Amino acid sequence: MVAFLLSYVRYVILSVMKKKNKILGKKLLVITAHPDDESYLAAGTIFRNYQMGGTNFLVCATYGEKGKSHIKKPITQKSLKFIRKRELQKVKKILHISEVLGLNLPDGNLTQHADKMYFRSLMFAKKIKPEVILGFGSDGITGHYDHKSAGRVARKVAKQLKLPYFAFCLPPKVTSQALDWLIKKRSVKHYSSSISFDEPIFRIKINTSIKKRALRCHVSQLENNNIFTGYPDFAVKALLEVEYFRV
Ligand SMILES: [Zn+2]
């Protein structure tokens, strides 16, 4: 019985390691909706992929011109686009992303532009020939409609090119309480009313300081210069130490 259990544990560990190895050290294409999605959900993984000899590419569907809730002065959408584009360029350097393709589609309205996003993401993927695609799962992490649309597009690209697809997940510790915070934080218009969170299959231990540096690049999105405002300490710790994915 003990021998059986040990071999089962070994089998589980090996299969988790195999799945991780399908991400790390590869040509990775990350497909997101807004500048900062990459940093919140996969900064550590992107950096580790680079460290393990892989290359990183990013498609970001919008320049997040609606994300002005933490900007104290009045700002036009055009200026905010410019600022967020520059912030994303800083992240590109820190995380060693070889190329960022910004699609400049309208923030908050991706569902209506999913076909355009699909077509342009597919063209880009055909050009760079990634081995793995990373993006949102069906929960869209926060239930944001743009995230859900970007996830559907990314999965469609992966399916079309017959590539493995890995979806971002929140840490299990966080999901049990995430809805309460998200309801407080969300402006209801852009979010679906209910979420059932995707269950992660494996985790990647990450470099906390790199993730903090990436998040700090998105200055326009920080509330009082803090990353993760309003999250309890255990959640911040979970989000900064490990990133979770499912197949
Ligand atoms: Zn987003």
Tell how far the Cα of 61 is from the centroid of ligand 1, in angstroms.
10
Res. 198 pLDDT band, cuts 50 70 90 = confident
In percent, how much of the chain has pLDDT > 70? 87
Decide if 2 is inside a domain.
no
Which pLDDT belongs to residue 171? 87
Decide if 221 is inside a domain.
yes
Tell how far the Cα of 202 is from the centroid of ligand 1, in angstroms.
22
Q: Which domain holds residue 174?
A: 23-246
Q: How far apart are CA 40 and CA 37, in angstroms?
A: 5
Tell how far the Cα of 15 is from the centroid of ligand 1, in angstroms.
31
Comparing C-alpha atoms, which of 58, 210, 82, 69 is closest to residue 134? 58
Mean pLDDT of 139-156: 93
Tell how far the Cα of 115 is from the centroid of ligand 1, in angstroms.
19
Tell how far the Cα of 67 is from the centroid of ligand 1, in angstroms.
9
Q: Are strands 202-205 and 132-135 parallel, antiparallel or unpaired?
A: unpaired
> Could you give the number of structural domains in the chain?
1
List the structure tokens of 102. Answer: 């910004």
Res. 100 pLDDT band, cuts 50 70 90 = very high
Q: Which residue has the higher pLDDT, 30 or 70?
A: 30
Average pLDDT value for the chain: 88
In percent, how much of the chain has pLDDT > 90? 61
Res. 182 pLDDT band, cuts 50 70 90 = low
Q: What is the pLDDT of residues 62-77, one digit of tens each?
A: 999 998 878 788 889 9
What CATH number is associated with residue 73?
3.40.50.10320
Helix, strand, coil in percent for the chain, rounding step 5? 55, 20, 30
Mean pLDDT of 72-96: 93
Which pLDDT belongs to residue 29? 98
Decide if 56 is inside a domain.
yes
Decide if 13 is inside a domain.
no
